[in-house]
Amino acid sequence: MDQDYKSKVTMDPSGFVVLAEYIPGIVQEIRYYSTYNFVGDRIDGYEEPVALLTKEAARALKSVANEMNVKGYRLKVFDAYRPACAVKHFVLWGIEDLDLRMKPYFYPDLEKQELFKRGYIAAQSSHSRGSAIDLTLLDMTTGKELDMGSPFDLFNEISHPDSKMVTKEQFENRMLLHGTVIKNGEVVAEEHALNDIVISRTGLLRAYSLPLYVNGSLLNTFTADGIIASTATGSTGYSLSAGGPVVSPEAEIILITPLASHSLISRSIILSGTDEIRIEAGRGRTGYEENVCSVLFDGNPGILLSTGDSVVIRKSDRVAGFVKISRMSFLDVLRKKMAEI
């Protein structure tokens, strides 16, 4: 690296770090320093082929890099901090209709004018804040990039996070839950959860009455400390510790597991992912009580519920995309974990 440039970065008071120095062993291919990018020229502001990142983001990335190294992978970075002048360069390039040099390589199925309209390129970039990064994984055994379904900066439908064009080996979509919190007949919050939505008691150590309805019909009124509604992905988390079953993460189900149920026959119930579930905050042992419980989405700070309030849970219209970096199947992982017990 040029010493003058390194000196400017080192003295920068804004909290940026040189990523290769902060995370030794990280691989860099800064595309916008080269001419192999969708513009076809070196992009303004890229004075050296180095990645810069805020200290906070670099610290989090270092933990990821260490974890991947143990599994036989290295992080490979294409872009990190992006100067505002680079974003301006993109915009000016977009106005120039005749410059189509890189179309066959980066946007073969789209007209250049569509790139901004469809959101592939933005007039303002989160990269300019210094906490966004474009990267992939490099297999240390083969020396090749992990197959992510499409190459970097390919402006095509296959590059979308929820694309159905990639193979099952490249990508897994996991079901999310959508929860609607209703207080006094009004919707006060809507959240999504990858693992679970938990209705749990607050404060005093006493059980509460929690009626649970499926598609409008009462299934059961649980007398318990709470109820866990989890996805198949979340079945190996809180639900499992409460006595729930392990479910293959690809299954589109909603798993209901009572927490410390005051019953000798209370068990987990597996419902279809198409079912709508409504759980009411019922009365405590002493009758009507305010703020009898709270609802938590993936363990985040809860929303207090009073008697009569409810939470409606259904399958979300969103999915969570998981990139598969291990050749082990779910059953392989499960067998390994069971052997460690």
- Judge whether 333 lies within some domain: no
- Judge whether 275 lies within some domain: yes
Same domain, 132 and 226: no
**pLDDT at position 301:** 83
Same domain, 99 and 208: no
Cα–Cα dist 304/17, whole Å: 42
Name the E strands within the chain. Answer: 16-18, 27-28, 52-54, 73-79, 134-139, 171-183, 186-193, 196-201, 208-214, 217-224, 226-230, 253-259, 269-272, 277-280, 293-297, 303-305, 310-323
- Judge whether 329 lies within some domain: no
Cα–Cα dist 60/69, whole Å: 15
- Judge whether 95 lies within some domain: yes
The residue range of the domain holding 216 is 174-323
b/e per residue 113-147 (b: at least 16 CB within 10 A): eebeeeebbeeebebbebbbbbbbbbeeeeeebeb
For residue 207, the domain's CATH number is 2.60.200.30
Cα–Cα dist 291/298, whole Å: 20
| Domain stops at, among 144, 164, 184 | 164
Number of domains making up the chain: 2
Same domain, 104 and 34: yes
- Judge whether 214 lies within some domain: yes
Same domain, 109 and 252: no
Same domain, 185 and 81: no
**pLDDT at position 148:** 79
**pLDDT at position 44:** 96
Name the token pair of 130. 């210094």
Same domain, 136 and 191: no
Same domain, 187 and 141: no
Same domain, 204 and 156: no
- Judge whether 307 lies within some domain: yes
**pLDDT at position 229:** 97
Same domain, 295 and 186: yes
Cα–Cα dist 171/149, whole Å: 8
User: pTM to 2 decimals?
Assistant: 0.59
Question: Whose CA is closest to 39, among 141, 155, 164?
Answer: 155
Same domain, 156 and 201: no
Same domain, 28 and 84: yes
Same domain, 159 and 182: no
Please, are residues 195 and 320 in contact by the beta-carbon 8 Å criterion? no
For residue 20, the domain's CATH number is 3.30.1380.10
pLDDT tens, N- to C-terminus, the chain (341 residues): 555 555 554 445 568 999 999 999 999 999 999 999 999 999 999 999 999 999 999 999 999 999 888 888 899 999 999 999 999 999 999 888 889 999 999 999 999 988 988 888 888 888 999 989 999 999 888 888 887 778 899 998 877 766 666 666 555 667 899 999 999 889 999 999 999 999 998 766 677 889 999 999 999 999 889 999 999 999 999 999 999 999 998 899 999 999 988 887 778 999 999 999 999 998 655 555 555 789 999 988 889 998 889 999 999 998 776 766 666 677 887 888 777 76
